[in-house]
């Protein structure tokens, strides 16, 4: 398999100096990891959306952050005897019966309903929002001429090679290989992705700073570095950027910090639950 000109490859020019990466979609305004959240992020002008990928019992990749369905679906109502509702113990047919939107209206995880930023009709529309398959997410992204960062969560019941094969197979089938960046904490999956298609862009997620970030990325043949805020060291970012690696930092929502980071010249992208906050900052700094 080959996919030339992936825009997230090391050294490739980015659409703008800092990318607005909508974390789990526009997670402050719509239920995370759903097409509603992706749609909202796209409307807001985000450069791409990040989503979390896990596999059903029958091996279908779907979007879900947690290892269980409890927090972001009504699984406890539909399947009351299946606690703690591990994702990998549910079939696709069962997951398709779940409502992954109503919890957002009930919990208001970022206080944006209380703040009046989510109109009533949008809240109504979230009721019954399904858990998307990865295929649906990729087709949505492709149809909009947009981009995505797929975070492959550590597999529980599938070998890394199978995870990589299934995800890459879908990417190729949908024809979106040039617009996708794959990240993971699981280095084995990232290595398998590169083995199958060296033109695809990969990025390790870093919660604990590695002793030698440049050597680490080069060893993985990675294209970008994805540190958590607390693992972010400006000198690392500066060295990595000079060598052409992307540096995409997660997850920042505070307006002052977003501005400081966007203007600082050290990052190529910022993951935020509030793409609506980052967008005007980037437009002011870099133009629209």
Binding site for ligand G3P (CB under 6 A): 23, 50, 52, 65, 151, 183, 205, 226, 250-251, 271
**Window contacting Ca ion (CB under 5 A); options: 93-101, 150-158, 162-170, 184-192:** 150-158
- The pair of structure tokens assigned to 257 is 């910090």
Tokens representing 252 are 């920042």
**φ, ψ dihedrals at 64, nearest 5°:** -165, 130
Among 47, 52, 179, 197, binds Ca ion (CB under 5 A): 52
Minimum distance of ligand G3P from residue 287's CB (angstroms): 27
Q: With CB cut-offs between 5 and 8 Å by kind, which of Ca ion, ligand G3P, none does residue 32 bind? A: none
Residue 65 vs 82, nearer CB to Ca ion: 65
Instruction: Supply 158's token pair.
Output: 């599938």
Give dist(CA 197, CA 225) in Å, integer: 19
Closest CB to ligand G3P among residues 3, 184: 184
Closest approach of ligand G3P to the CB of residue 277, in Å: 17
Q: Is 192 in the site for Ca ion (CB under 5 A)?
A: no
**Position of minimal CB gap to Ca ion:** 151
SS3 content of the chain, % helix, strand, coil (to 5): 40, 15, 45
Q: Count other C-beta atoms under 10 Å from residue 142's C-beta.
A: 17
Label the pairing between strands 61-63 and 48-55: antiparallel
Summarize as ranges the residues that interact with Ca ion (CB under 5 A): 52, 151
């Amino acid at each position: 398999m080959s996919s030339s000109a992936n825009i997230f490859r090391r050294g490739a020019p980015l659409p703008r100096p800092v990318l607005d990466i909508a974390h789990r979609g526009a997670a402050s305004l719509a239920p995370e990891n759903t097409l509603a959240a992706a749609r909202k992020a796209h409307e807001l002008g985000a450069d791409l959306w990040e989503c979390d990928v896990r596999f059903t019992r029958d091996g279908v990749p779907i979007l879900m952050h947690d290892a269980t369905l409890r927090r972001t679906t009504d699984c406890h109502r539909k399947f009351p005897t299946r606690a703690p509702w591990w994702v990998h113990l549910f079939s696709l047919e069962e997951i398709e019966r779940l409502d992954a939107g109503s919890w957002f209206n009930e919990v208001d995880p970022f206080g944006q309903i209380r703040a009046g930023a989510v109109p009533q009709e949008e809240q109504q529309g979230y009721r019954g929002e399904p858990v998307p398959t990865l295929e649906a997410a990729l087709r949505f992204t492709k149809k909009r001429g947009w981009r995505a960062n797929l975070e492959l969560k550590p597999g529980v019941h599938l070998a890394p090679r199978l995870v990589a094969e299934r995800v890459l197979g879908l990417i190729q089938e949908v024809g979106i290989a040039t617009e996708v960046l794959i990240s993971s904490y699981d280095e084995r999956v990232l290595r398998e992705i590169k083995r199958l298609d060296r033109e695809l862009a990969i990025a390790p997620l870093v919660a604990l700073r590695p002793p030698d970030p440049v050597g680490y990325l080069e060893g993985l043949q990675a294209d970008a570095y994805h540190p958590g805020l607390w693992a972010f060291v400006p000198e690392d970012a500066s060295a990595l950027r000079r060598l052409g690696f992307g540096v995409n930092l997660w997850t920042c929502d505070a307006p002052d910090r977003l501005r400081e980071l966007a203007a600082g010249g050290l990052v190529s992208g910022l993951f935020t639950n509030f793409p609506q906050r980052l967008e005007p900052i980037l437009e002011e700094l870099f133009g629209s």
